[in-house]
Amino acid sequence: MPLADRRLRTPLGSTCKRSTGGMTDSLTPSSLTPSSLTPSPIALSDGRFLVPANRWDLLDDVPGRPQRIAVVIPFYEQHVQLAMLLAALELQTYPRELVEIVVADDGSATAPRPDTELNVSVVRQARNGFRAAAARNLGTRATTAPILCFLDSDTYPEPGYLAGIARLPSLLPDALVVGRRRHAAIEDWTPDDLRQWWSGGPAPRLLEEPRWLIDAYAHSQRLLAIDHRSYRYVISSVMACSRQLFEDIGGFDESFSRYGGEDWELAHRAVTGGAVLQYVPEAVAWHAGPDWAARDVSERTAAKNRESLDVARLVTDPDARRPGLRYAIPEVAVEIDTTDHTVGSLVATVACFLHLDVGVWLDGPSAAQRRRELGDDDPRIQVGVVPQGVRRRCRFVVSTRGRPVLPRSAASRLIAACAERGVGEVHSRVEDAAVTCRSSWSLNRVRRWSTTVDPELLRGLYESIRLPASELGLSEGPPEPSLAW
């Protein structure tokens, strides 16, 4: 839908549904009063741009700005594959003087010895499990290039790959871009075979692409229309972003020491950090052999289960947490101002949110005292403000003022409204009681640009919605509600 048209409508269309905490709720358009997204990109002083929500399409007609690009390659005992990859990089149409390559060796017995005229450096770390995440971070620290491109050793980019995948990050520093990884039976090929193929010679036997990825990219219009699942469609073997975004979100999580999961975790953290996702189908790289799911891998289910548990502790996607396990990083962080609360009224407010995947932080001069008075042993309730580590990974931050009370179903509705595409803030107020839900992507994107961009312009990056207290069921609780049963 054109943005100019969308500004005249509710951001939720007809009806929104979302499952939170085992509950499904609906919101109708009459419940919502939206403000408008900015209708065009925001120009930065260096020639780059910001865009509202995930609207990378607003830059479709803007040519890229060729910049230095670092190709970071995690490596482990893949000497033949590295020679193939370097041969593919020699054929790139991207200006060679702007390309530097960093091979990050994850403790191979024999160090890689690149044989190429390209600008290549090698960095190494000790072997301590499968540490592709740490290797990629090590590689990025060895370069100062403003654009980072990650390629696996056994994934060979077509000649136009770098030009295609670097275009959006060169214009949009918030961009996290994924290319198209195709599969072919080229495990036994040589660099000459690759050169001949791309010069019109014999082609290899093509293998099936993962259907779930093809369908996801088509359904989302190349990740233009993203939702809480979209981070799963970013794979690190064909990924690029700006150094600025990569460093702001903290790079790959180095606690991953087994195969799989580190790219989903990074992409999820990027989304909560305000990244703009795009799929670039013309940026094609060929993987040698079938997709992992199509291989004859023993104990695949057990391995996938281990990966799922590794990811679920850090990724606050409700789908990842369907078993109901609780983790240190919640999906929803609630910050309650205790200034006007007695212990009784505090219980009434806290109880509105405990059915969610939640962490509660009590703030204000009386917070520590009120926490002691609760007399509970609930590790989800803490004193202080929501830590930055939580703000960078949770999906929503809810804040309260006064003594708000709302039904549990209304708390779920509040989250559901803020989960809608392009919505960054939902708020409601009655008398002196107020509750506001903010999406982490909007909070973190505004934080990243708050020192260089006019605050009025930043407010145009997301939609703000007011929910009438009467429709939400929000009320101001008494100073001393009855807790008797």
Q: What pLDDT shows up at residue 29?
A: 34
Instruction: Answer yes or no: is pLDDT of 417 > 90.
Output: yes
* Same domain for 289 and 398: no
Count of structural domains, the chain: 2
pLDDT, average across residues 196-206: 95
* Same domain for 341 and 244: no
Q: Any idea of the CA torsion for 464, 173, 71, 195, to the nearest 10 degrees?
A: 90
- The proportion of the chain whose per-residue pLDDT surpasses 70, expressed as a percent, equals 90
pLDDT band at residue 31 using 50, 70 and 90 as cut-offs: very low
Q: What pLDDT shows up at residue 292?
A: 66
Q: Work out the burial of residue 160: count CB atoms within 10 Å of its CB; fewer than 13 is exposed, 13-18 middle, 19 or more buried.
A: middle
Query: Using one digit for the tens of pLDDT, what is the confidence trace for 134-143?
Result: 999 999 999 9
Q: Do the beta carbons of residue 343 and residue 481 sit within 8 Å?
A: no
Q: Work out the burial of residue 142: count CB atoms within 10 Å of its CB; fewer than 13 is exposed, 13-18 middle, 19 or more buried.
A: middle
pLDDT, average across residues 260-269: 89
Tell me the sheet residues that pair with 183. Answer: 207, 287
Q: Is residue 305 part of a domain?
A: yes
Distance of CA 14 to the CA centre of its chain: 27
Give the mean pLDDT of the chain: 89
* Same domain for 160 and 293: yes
Q: Is residue 462 part of a domain?
A: yes
**Cα radius of gyration rounded to whole Å, the chain:** 24
State how far the Cα of 239 lies from the Cα of 56, in Å rounded to an integer. Answer: 16
* Same domain for 160 and 87: yes
Q: Is residue 52 part of a domain?
A: no
* Same domain for 350 and 238: no
State how far the Cα of 288 lies from the Cα of 123, in Å rounded to an integer. Answer: 24
Q: Which of 282, 299, 321 corresponds to the end of one domain?
A: 321
Q: What pLDDT shows up at residue 131?
A: 84
Q: Is residue 112 part of a domain?
A: yes
Q: CB-based contacts of 476: which residues, under 8 Å, 6+ apart?
A: 402, 403, 404, 405, 430, 431, 432, 433
Q: Which of 236, 289, 286 is nearest to 261 (CA)?
A: 236
Instruction: Answer yes or no: is pLDDT of 26 > 50.
Output: no
Query: Using one digit for the tens of pLDDT, what is the confidence trace for 60-114?
Result: 999 999 999 999 999 999 999 999 999 999 999 999 999 999 999 998 999 999 9
0.75 exceeded by pTM: yes
Show the domain range for 177: 63-321
Q: Is residue 449 part of a domain?
A: yes
* Same domain for 225 and 105: yes
Tell me the sheet residues that pair with 335. Answer: 361, 399
* Same domain for 299 and 175: yes
Q: Is residue 9 part of a domain?
A: no
pLDDT band at residue 36 using 50, 70 and 90 as cut-offs: low
pLDDT band at residue 475 using 50, 70 and 90 as cut-offs: very high
Q: What pLDDT shows up at residue 361?
A: 98
Most distant pair of Cα atoms in the chain: their distance? 82
Q: Is residue 42 part of a domain?
A: no
* Same domain for 312 and 338: no
* Same domain for 358 and 289: no
Q: What pLDDT shows up at residue 146?
A: 98
Q: Is residue 304 part of a domain?
A: yes
* Same domain for 361 and 301: no
**Range among 23-27, 261-265, 442-446 rated most confident:** 442-446
Q: Which residue has the higher pLDDT, 7 or 89?
A: 89
Instruction: Answer yes or no: is pLDDT of 438 > 60.
Output: yes
* Same domain for 243 and 108: yes
pLDDT band at residue 430 using 50, 70 and 90 as cut-offs: very high
* Same domain for 246 and 119: yes
125-135 burial: b if 16+ Cβ within 10 Å, else e:
eeeeebbbbbb
Q: What pLDDT shows up at residue 293?
A: 61
Q: Which of 292, 321, 350 corresponds to the end of one domain?
A: 321
Instruction: For residue 422, give the CATH number of its domain.
Output: 3.90.550.10
Q: Which of 321, 356, 384 corresponds to the end of one domain?
A: 321
